[in-house]
Amino acid sequence: MAACKFSLLVRQFSTSGVTHQLVKPPIQVFGMGGRYATALYSAAMKEKKLEVIEKELKSVEETMKKNAILSNFVANPVIRKQDKISILTEFMKGQKMSPITINFFGVMADNNRLGKLKEVLNAWGQIMSAHRGEVVCKVTTAKSMDASQQKEVMTALQGFLDKKEVIKLNMAVDSTILGGMVVEIGDKYIDMSTATQVKNMTNLIKQSI
């Protein structure tokens, strides 16, 4: 049943009607957001408009952030879905967006899923990041790093990746770690913080008493 619904979702996003075979994304993203993002990726790949769709989705996301009226209108569960489809279609046609993007939002509105748009866009971002071979890496330090320090970290981390992979570095600051750093790269977690080292030493001292 779920497979049937997913196949229908792919067909709804497709404009050519030539083939309904799913184009699998580079990573599997779960949940409702993942299903919609995967269906959109498949439709965009078959139409060879992946970059166009990505640009249009970013435009919609930025507009939603800046335009509170439009954002509240889309998220309001009281407003009829037919009205949402009409307004969104008019807005996107005015922006000269592609039929796939217009159809995508129309399907979401028709299925009463616009309230989950953020979840869908997050899943889409994960898929596109993997499509470009990006590996998200979060580095947390006690103090902000300057440009030269960040470059050194990037160079060191790149050694853990394949040649085709590219690091997408996210920096964070947390004074509680005292010093050193905590690195999250892909599914790996490396804690090199001073706070953890002190904790480990304290535990060892307690065990020896």
Last residue of a domain, one of 130, 165, 197: 130
Kindly report, residue by residue over 39-74, the tens digit of the pLDDT. Answer: 999 999 999 999 999 999 999 999 988 988 888 888
Find the range with the poorest average confidence among 17-31, 83-97, 113-127, 149-163: 17-31
Beta strands, E only, the chain = 134-141, 166-173, 181-185, 188-191
For the beta carbon of residue 205, count every other beta carbon within 10 angstroms.
9
- Check whether residue 155 and residue 62 sit in a common domain: no
Q: Is 88 helix (H, G, I), strand (E, B) or coil?
A: helix
38, pLDDT greater than 90: yes
Distance CA(41)–CA(77), nearest Å, equals 27
Q: Is 96 helix (H, G, I), strand (E, B) or coil?
A: coil
Q: What is the CATH number of the domain that holds 85?
A: 1.10.520.20
Overall size of the chain counted in residues = 209
**Helices and strands, number each (H, E), in the chain:** 9, 4
Number of domains in the chain: 2
- Check whether residue 176 and residue 189 sit in a common domain: yes
- Check whether residue 150 and residue 190 sit in a common domain: yes
- Check whether residue 95 and residue 142 sit in a common domain: no
- Check whether residue 125 and residue 153 sit in a common domain: no
DSSP 164: T
Q: How many Å is the Cα radius of gyration of the chain?
A: 22
Kindly report, residue by residue over 104-150, the tens digit of the pLDDT. Answer: 999 999 888 998 899 999 999 989 988 888 888 888 988 898 988 88
- Check whether residue 98 and residue 112 sit in a common domain: yes
- Check whether residue 33 and residue 12 sit in a common domain: yes
